[in-house]
Amino acid sequence: MLVFVVFCNCLLAILNCYLAFRLWKIYRFLVKVTKTLTKVEGRTHYILKRVPVGIINRQLQTYQLRQRYQELTRKLQQLQKIVRLVNLGFRLWRRFS
């Protein structure tokens, strides 16, 4: 009977040592994850704090690009009208000459 109790105690001690080892590995893993997440949070904050300025700059550039596009569209329409008038003039000149 004494041998059985000693054997069970040794078995429990080995099991407890194994569990302690596993918990220690989990703890180390969680410490690494915590450090990584802390670094990522800091970098994300650094990146995201500059985003509003970038968005405002891009909005301004988009507005300017749209204005320039409208201006070029008006000029293109004027040139098309001029080309049509010149073409009409050539056709009329050929017809009457």
Identify the sign of the CA torsion 65, 67, 69, 72: negative
Task: State the Cα–Cα distance between residues 95 and 87, nearest whole angstrom.
Answer: 12
The reply to whether 95 falls in a domain is no
Taking the complete model, does pTM exceed 0.85, yes or no? Answer: no
Share of the chain above pLDDT 70, in %: 100
The reply to whether 24 falls in a domain is yes
Determine the pLDDT at residue 37: 95
Determine the pLDDT at residue 28: 97
Domain interval for residue 2: 1-49
- When pLDDT is cut at 50, 70 and 90, the band that residue 48 belongs to is confident
Task: Work out how many domains the chain is built from and give that number.
Answer: 1
